[in-house]
Amino acid sequence: MLESYHNIRIVVVGTSCSGKTTLAKILSGRLEIPHIEMDALYWDSNWTERPKSEFIELVENAVMQKSWVMDGNYRIVRDIVWGRANILIWLNYPFLTILYQALMRTISRAITKEELFSGNRESFIMSFFSKESILLWVLKSFPRRKREYPKLFKTGKYPHLRIIELRNRCQADELIDDNKQ
């Protein structure tokens, strides 16, 4: 159970479209602690990247809170976030699961024009016919994340982190159910 930690700080990582934000929001609600979405700190309006120094400062300020659940994979702030976190949850789902989730999420967001952060919305053109397509990003980043995270965990650089690897949505559901109030 996660709530047994004093001053709990959880970072949820995994490839794009794995469900990091969804899981982080649920855990945040269950544990009654703030949720921090790294994408919301990184992206400004019109899908403009914030200046690196501003992004780093936003993340540094966010992780100084006593407790939080954060989701995201930004390498530039990994040491800041992982250094302060005490639990890391890795959503290590199979490729077909990720691809299905990416496709369904992208279609849904394009249809509903759901606002994500800073007024940004996904569109069919951006999602399916652009070099910035989230679907292309999933195809490119999935193999890298699969290789990268086990290597990072073995370095010993973050010995204080309790690492929880979830290999499917059933395991994520069990984690959520174990942390009901």
Question: Terminus-to-terminus CA distance in the chain, angstroms?
Answer: 11
Query: Span 19-40, mean pLDDT?
Result: 95
Domains plus CATH for the chain? Answer: 9-178 (3.40.50.300)
pLDDT band, very low/low/confident/very high, at 124 (cuts 50, 70, 90): low
C-beta neighbour count of 46 within 10 angstroms: 8
Residue 77, pLDDT above cutoff 70 = yes
C-alpha 148, offset from chain centre: 15
| pLDDT tens-digit readout, 102-113 | 899 888 877 888
Query: Span 80-91, mean pLDDT?
Result: 97
Tell me the three state secondary structure of residue 159. coil
How many angstroms separate the CA atoms of 141 and 41, rounded? 20
pTM: 0.90
How many angstroms separate the CA atoms of 59 and 84, rounded? 11
How many angstroms separate the CA atoms of 181 and 29, rounded? 9
